Amino acid sequence: MDFQRATQLYLWSVPMVSMAEWQAAHEETFGIETGEIVVYQTFPEKLGILTANATTPYIIGFFDLAKTGPVVVEMPAGEAAGFADDIWQRPIVDMGQTGPDEGLGGTYCIYGPGQKGLILKNTKKCEYRVPSTTFNVFWGFRSLNSDKT
């Protein structure tokens, strides 16, 4: 019984532990703060990302909403797709062509537990209010090339 429970605990924690480790690696390797981005452009830069395309640039970052409070993300119009996940790798929102703005661009306000009232005070324009179940948020963007060749 102990082995089975230990195995279940391990499997349960893998999504959160891997995201927390990636967040720590971003901060340590690149010397960045919460909310700053890392651009992955070359194939060697993407070797640690399991599902990355070799030729697609990725813009990736983490927010710690406990430190920053709610965060405003301006998604520009155009051929791009973005997302935000909570620390458990559960989807919070899709942005760009795959999201509610459908590629027309929009302002996304992402807030953590207990922070809903803060977005009303601190943002003038908030087209999409997005609650996160955790304070740590993983987010990323990529271009969607219209070249059919």
Identify the CATH number of the domain defined by range 1-143: 2.60.40.1610
- Report, as an integer, the average pLDDT of 14-25: 88
Q: What is the pLDDT of residue 94?
A: 97
Sign of CA dihedral 30, 36, 42, 46: positive
DSSP E strand stretches across the chain: 37-40, 58-64, 71-75, 80-86, 91-96, 106-111, 128-131, 136-143
Query: pTM of the prediction?
Result: 0.82
Q: Which amino acid is at 37?
A: I
Query: For residue 1, is pLDDT > 80?
Result: no
Q: Per-residue pLDDT tens for 53-94? A: 888 888 999 999 999 999 999 999 999 899 999 999 999 999
Q: What is the mean pLDDT of residues 10-27?
A: 89
Q: What is the DSSP code (8-state) at residue 116? A: H
Find where tokens 């795959």 sit.
98
Q: Are 86 and 132 in contact (CB under 8 A)?
A: yes
Give the Cα separation of 139 and 42 in Å (integer). Answer: 19
Signed CA dihedral, 51, 54, 57, 62: sign only: positive
Residue ranges of the domains in the chain? Answer: 1-143
81 vs 123, higher pLDDT: 81
Q: What is the pLDDT of residue 146?
A: 61
